[in-house]
Amino acid sequence: MRVLIIEDEPLASEKLRDSLRRYNPAITVLAVLESAADAIGWLREHPSPDLIFSDIELLDGPVFRVFEEVSLTCPIIFATAYDQFVLRAFRENGIAYLLKPIEYPELSSALQKFERLRSSFAHLSPEAAQMLQTVLGQPTYKERFVVKARGGIYLLTTANIVCIELINEVAVAFDPKGNRHVLPETLSQLESVLNPRDFFRISRSEIISIHYLDKLENYGSDRLAVHLQGVSKVFISSASRTPGLRKWLG
Amino acid sequence: MKRHPKTYLLVALGLLVFCLLLVLLIRLLVAGSFEQFHYYWNAVACMFFYGLLSIGVVRAADRRVGWVNSVGGGWRYARLFGVSAGLYVAVAVASSIGFEWWVMAKPPTRFGTLVFILVYFIIHAVLGNCYIAYRYLAELLKTRELFLLAQQAQTEMQLRQLQQQTNPHFLFNSLNILSALIGKSPALAQRFLTNLTELYRYSLQHQDEEVVALAEEVAFAQNYVYLLEQRFSGAYRFNWQLAPAAVAAGGFVVPTTLQGLLENVVKHNEGSCKVPLEVSIALDEGWLVVHNVVRAKPAVGGSLGTGLRNLRQRYALLTDEPVDIRPEPDSFTVRVPLLKLLAA
């Protein structure tokens, strides 16, 4: 098996090399590359290896741009220190990864799996590489809230939130069925944890979701009246937030 | 939520004053002059009884409809009032007619029944709604206070976790052990390092989450205990009385609950290799129970109880069952309610 290692820390690549030798002395490490630029150059000039081990953060930035520029025909196993969002993106796309520090048992089981199911190792397409690149650069937002109920808790996903209103100083989320869910946060806190692509704070006491937008009307010269699906109430934007609202609506 | 006995007294007193004044008003209106005035004490008693019934019925209905606890909603209020009014009028009218029939031998008439229905409906409309309004406001104030405390607790918790992640004592002690193990046994050093890594990964991963599966928290706590055992080699003995099936079905906890409790035990109690300090971790019908023998030692930094208070507030946000802390002279027990995930 011919393996390529993309890793910018000499000690880490040495350890990986040792572990590979321990797993199977017949494995040849073709090269150890320290930067994305080196990797692009090497991959253009050489035939594809059987397997690539790659770190994510390299001396000259994230490795993903390598795979955007060079289309690969071999599987990659990523080594990552910690980033739960990248991990999730890996898992969702069936991309193999190892957590740093790389333990020998994990490495050997990944290699066994590779030998057994070579075909099931997903190839990293330029699109997937781009997606990972975006995931890495994106701030993350809350996707669900845990809500207290009689006899237990339940999860309220943000996709199920039509709007959030401040009622008697308590933030209350409405779902598409019109049910109310009390959220133990202030609207400012909610505004900062919700994805601004999906939610907009339309006034001091209201946040609305773009996914349940029904109808818009002008309300006076500098405000908008927003109708949401499943809610009879009409939301009036405050004058100072209306320009932002128009921009958000696109 | 448990009601304070004072609340009951306050409601009863308010009702009594209301009845006294109402009867006074009616008697004054009927009398017309001081000579003809006569106060009916049994009317007060009767009204008080029916008033209590009205409130009791609202409370019973609220338990089913769940309006007062959840910041309302018009339809739910209508259901609460409708259900309680129906129930109340039925019980009150039946009991009044029964009383007149048997005790005063007055058979019911259609007109009399109609009057009863109307009178009791009005009584319920006034008293029931007063009670609903009172409870609603009280609940709202409590919810707001709870949220305020919980938000504070959340911030404190994050700070605490941050401090713990960079806790020089924990980190340097662990690094010290690691440096000793590197020379003695590379394999052990490797294992120690893996555990240390996992510990940090977990606390980073879950710092923004409200809940985590019990199984995950237990694995994390066992990780932590492994590190402790390497450091103190047998000064603390942890007895895990957890059946794997019960853990898997155990529901959810607030992240770092168990680890925090174990940390507390070690922080506040003296262990020794000769006489290890016994700590047990068990499950008891929907509760996670951490129990330890008390051998107090002066704590280094951080006052006793802030961690537990914090835990209490975070749970108050997710369940009505309070975290139960039982300090006794020679033992210390904390019982944490496990959170059940309901279908949305």
pLDDT digits 0-9 by tens, B264-322? 898 889 888 899 999 999 999 899 999 999 998 876 655 557 778 878 888 888 888 99
CA distance B270 to B295: 5
* B206 to A101, B53, B212, B217: CA distances (angstroms): 20, 48, 8, 10
CA distance B266 to B203: 19
Whether A80 and A63 map to the same domain: the answer is yes
Whether A133 and A11 map to the same domain: the answer is yes
Whether A115 and A196 map to the same domain: the answer is no
Extended strands (E) in A50-179: 51-55, 57-58, 61-62, 76-80, 96-99, 144-149, 152-157, 163-167, 170-174
pLDDT at site B278: 94
Residue B156 resides in a domain: no
Whether B122 and B255 map to the same domain: the answer is no
Among A59, A62, A55, which Cα is nearest to A81's? A55
Whether B48 and B185 map to the same domain: the answer is no
Whether A51 and A16 map to the same domain: the answer is yes
Which pairing describes strands A163-167 and A152-157: parallel, antiparallel, or unpaired?
Answer: unpaired
Task: Look up the domain containing A117 and give its range.
Answer: 2-137
Domain end, chosen from A102, A137, A172, is at: A137
pLDDT in tens, B71-111: 556 777 888 888 889 999 999 899 888 888 888 888 888 88
Chain B hits for A164, Cβ within 8 Å: none
Whether B18 and B51 map to the same domain: the answer is yes
| A interface with B, Cβ–Cβ below 8 Å | 82, 84, 99, 101, 103, 142, 145-146, 148-156, 160, 167-170, 172, 178-180, 182, 184-186, 189
Whether A115 and A83 map to the same domain: the answer is yes
Domain end, chosen from A117, A137, A157, is at: A137
Residue B155 resides in a domain: no
Residue B80 resides in a domain: yes
**C-alpha gyration radius of chain A:** 25
In terms of DSSP H, where are the helices of chain B? 5-31, 41-65, 74-102, 110-165, 168-184, 186-205, 214-232, 244-248, 257-268, 306-316
Q: Are B148 and B120 in contact (CB under 8 A)?
A: no
Q: What's the pLDDT band for A63 if we cut at 50, 70, 90? A: confident
Question: How is residue A187 written in tokens?
Answer: 């609207």
- Output the domain CATH number for residue B208: 3.30.565.10
B86-95, B151-160, B190-199, B235-244, range with the lowest pLDDT: B151-160
* A20 to A1, A53, A63, B182, B197: CA distances (angstroms): 10, 11, 22, 22, 22
Cβ-proximal residues to A76 (8 Å cutoff; 6+ apart), any chain: A51, A52, A53, A54, A67, A95, A96, A124
Name the helix (H) or strand (E) containing A43: helix A36-45
Task: Give me the count of residues in chain A.
Answer: 250
Domain end, chosen from A97, A112, A137, is at: A137
Whether B130 and B191 map to the same domain: the answer is no
Interface test with B, best of A146, A177, A205 (most B CBs within 10 A): A146
Whether A235 and A125 map to the same domain: the answer is no
Interface test with B, best of A168, A174, A181 (most B CBs within 10 A): A168
Cβ-proximal residues to B302 (8 Å cutoff; 6+ apart), any chain: B267
The structural domain count of chain A equals 2
Interface check for B24 against chain A (CB to CB < 8 A): the answer is no
- CB A153 to CB B342 under 8 A? yes
The structural domain count of chain B equals 2
Interface check for B317 against chain A (CB to CB < 8 A): the answer is yes
Whether A155 and A232 map to the same domain: the answer is yes
Whether B128 and B188 map to the same domain: the answer is no
Task: Look up the domain containing B138 and give its range.
Answer: 5-143
Residue B122 resides in a domain: yes
Residue B157 resides in a domain: no
Whether B174 and B139 map to the same domain: the answer is no
Whether B178 and B232 map to the same domain: the answer is yes
Q: What's the pLDDT band for B253 if we cut at 50, 70, 90? A: very high
Mean predicted lDDT score pLDDT of chain B: 84
- CB B190 to CB A170 under 8 A? no
Task: Give me the count of residues in chain B.
Answer: 344
Whether B178 and B50 map to the same domain: the answer is no
Whether B89 and B135 map to the same domain: the answer is yes
Residue B175 resides in a domain: yes
Whether B318 and B250 map to the same domain: the answer is yes
pLDDT at site A92: 72
SS3 B289: strand
Q: Which residues pair with A32 in a beta bridge?
A: A5
Whether B171 and B309 map to the same domain: the answer is yes
Whether B19 and B123 map to the same domain: the answer is yes
Task: Please name the amino acid found at residue B137.
Answer: L
Residue with tokens 């107090």: B296
